[in-house]
Amino acid sequence: MSKDQLLMENYLLLLKSTVEVYVHGTLESSNVDMRSLLKRGLDETMKHQANTYDEMTKYGWYTINNIESKSVKKTLKTIESKN
């Protein structure tokens, strides 16, 4: 793994954690001005996250594996049987 890839992965993790903080702060804020400020921070952080994800996928550093439909069906059956 290159240093660039490691930095990008850590930055992406940081952005994801920051989004969580902004979401909770926005939801819990009773002050309209504070909520607006937090929402702007959330929006900006999500833009950075999307841009970072796009860059990582461009270099093949972030891949998504498609799940086969039979695996999804098996999981759903397991969940349904427990209910």
Residues 34, 19: Cα–Cα separation, whole Å: 16
Q: What global pTM score does this model have? A: 0.72
Alpha-carbon distance of 22 to 49, in angstroms, equals 13
Q: What's the gap between Cα 32 and its chain centre?
A: 26
8-44 per-position pLDDT tens digit: 999 999 999 999 999 999 999 999 999 999 999 999 9
- The rounded distance, in Å, linking the Cα atoms of 57 and 47 is 15
Instruction: Give tens-digit pLDDT for 59-71.
Output: 999 888 888 888 8
Give the contacts of 22 (CB within 8 A, at least 6 positions apart): 38, 39, 41, 42, 45
